[in-house]
Amino acid sequence: MILLILRFLLLIWPARTEIAESANTALPGCSDSCGGVAIPYPFGIGPKCSMSEDFELSCVTINRSSTPYWGDLAVLDINLSLGQARTSTPISYQCYNSKTKEIKYSDWSVWVPPFWYNHEKNKFVVIGCDTLAFVNFTNDQNSYLGGCVLGCGSLENMTNGSCSGIGCCENSIPSGTNNITLWFDDKYNNSEVYSLSEIIQRG
């Protein structure tokens, strides 16, 4: 079985006069793009090219292909008029290795202040069978715990292209969330498990 999943994360930032009034250009002497992605001020590549360190990006080149990064997140595009940036996020997974009889995990946590997750454009999704996954949403004042319990009998019962609750579960993201942590509970999962959890873009 091959699962192909698009995973995007939309971040938004506080509206500021400097951002609203700035043109879609970089500061003089600073690179205005990386790997085909436009880098407008207040963002910038390298020191002294952004409004502050919070908006500083790096341009990473691997195998002759360049990608802008904000910390560990690859930046796919920046839209100043909407006040948001689109990034690629990791996938949290749990899968059983029939040869070693071990379950491999990959949990993740992403902390994004001074930005926050766009609660209207993102959602938490879990795909799998016999799966118990948790997500913790945190903002400046509160912490919220969510999760998904999935039982579908077998992968054949899952509906391709639909998140109907059988083998697929999704949750909304609270407004103002600036930190998300994903993890699995192996007490519920069995030796046939293959599960994924992620934050994806709606629509």
Residue 186: pLDDT over 80: no
- Residue 186: CATH number of its domain: 2.60.120
| Among candidate residues 88, 120, 151, the one where a domain is terminated | 88
Q: Minimum mean pLDDT among 1-10, 75-84, 122-131: which range?
A: 1-10
Are 137 and 199 within 8 A, CB to CB? no
Give, as one character, the DSSP assignment of residue 39. -
- Whether 15 and 71 map to the same domain: the answer is yes
Query: Average pLDDT, stretch 81-90?
Result: 85
- Whether 105 and 38 map to the same domain: the answer is no
Q: Tell me which residue range forms the domain holding 125.
A: 90-201
Q: Minimum mean pLDDT among 97-101, 109-113, 186-190: which range?
A: 186-190
Higher local confidence (pLDDT), 83 or 19: 83
- Whether 130 and 188 map to the same domain: the answer is yes
Residues 16-53: tens digit of each pLDDT? 435 544 556 889 999 999 999 999 999 999 999 999 99
Is there a cis peptide before residue 114, judged by omega within 30 degrees of 0? yes
Count the domains in the chain: 2
- Whether 124 and 194 map to the same domain: the answer is yes
Residues 125-139: tens digit of each pLDDT? 888 777 888 899 998
- Whether 165 and 110 map to the same domain: the answer is yes
CA torsion 75-81-83-87 (nearest 10°) is: -20
Asked if the structure places residue 51 within a domain, the reply is yes
Count Cα neighbours of 83 within 13 Å in the Cβ-side half-sphere.
Answer: 15
- Whether 114 and 181 map to the same domain: the answer is yes
Question: How high is the pLDDT of residue 198?
Answer: 54
Rounded to whole angstroms, how far apart are CA atoms 185 and 149? Answer: 10
Give the pTM: 0.79
* Largest Cα–Cα separation, the chain: 60
Mean pLDDT in the chain?
A: 79
